[in-house]
Structure 1
Amino acid sequence: MRTSHGVTVRLVRGDLTRQTADVIVNAANSSLLGGGGVDGAIHRRGGPEILAACRELRASHYGKGLRTGQAVATTAGALDARWVVHTVGPVWSSVEDRSALLASCYRESLRVAAELGARTVAFPAISTGIYGWPLDDGARIAVRTVIEEAVPPVEEVRFVLFDDHAYVEFESALAAQR
């Protein structure tokens, strides 16, 4: 799909850490020091350069960690990318609407990517794993936010989805935006 700003939005089933892109977005935890899921996979495949860059961020501007909904860039280490943009997704709550925080993850990641001059950005399905966000709602928020917020120099946004279920949910969310 092409947005009104001329940005192509694509869905890919696969491994985010094997993508070729200017920016790979990491669904990080607030410590920026690695963890499970996407975060752990990016740190493992990207190598020690990413962790070293995250430690530098913690020692300077982000001593208490990165706040939910914010984004920051580091080297991509051994990944086939120029940068990793780390963003902290919200934990899903049945009693508090945190949708704006999830949308902020996508918006802020795109802002950082654009500031870096990135043309291609690969996203995971932020917060839909161990943070428990319902996949259908997470897909709806992700797709809507990217369609509204992605602008040049970004030319392509790719949602890299780990399994068929996630792909189907994102496909439905994308179809609903047409």
Structure 2
Amino acid sequence: MEQAVWLDAAEQHVWRGFLRMNTRIYDELERDLRERSGVSLIEYGILAHLSEAPERRMRMRALADSVIVSKSRLSHQVARLERGGHVRREHCDDDRRGLWAVLTDDGADLLRRSAPGHAQRVRSLMFDRLSTEQIDQLAAIVAALDPDRAGAGTEASRPEHRPPSPDHR
């Protein structure tokens, strides 16, 4: 059996603070989106990812990976969005078992209405509380902890260094 290397007091403090902060921000964003738009944070993520995809469509597996949920959870959330007319599923011509999730015009409208308030809430919960230097440090930390996203969130990708998105999220 492998010998555990325990966290020291400072590491434990940072770890627990990170977990509390992450939970509080997630819960607040979830509550705010449900009150403003009637969608969950995961459903908002689905709409956002589909809006950025070519032809506003993604394979379900790729979408699950993008919004970081299981295939079964994604299927449930997409079904809810489908019932609301915001997303539709289409069979893949090249893979009989595969499905596409496609953002409808109603879904794009919902996202357009939801995005400004969501962006404002994200900013107030996180970015307004940090200096430019702290944001750059956080970007470096995120890149170091998530190798799949290395390079994302660096200084060159901050809004003042790129053209604004029409669906600013």
| TM-score above 0.5, yes or no | no
Q: Which has the higher contact order (CA 8 A, sep 6+)?
A: 1
Structure (1 or 2) with the greater strand fraction = 1
Larger radius of gyration: 2
TM-score of the superposition, structure 2-length normalised? 0.32
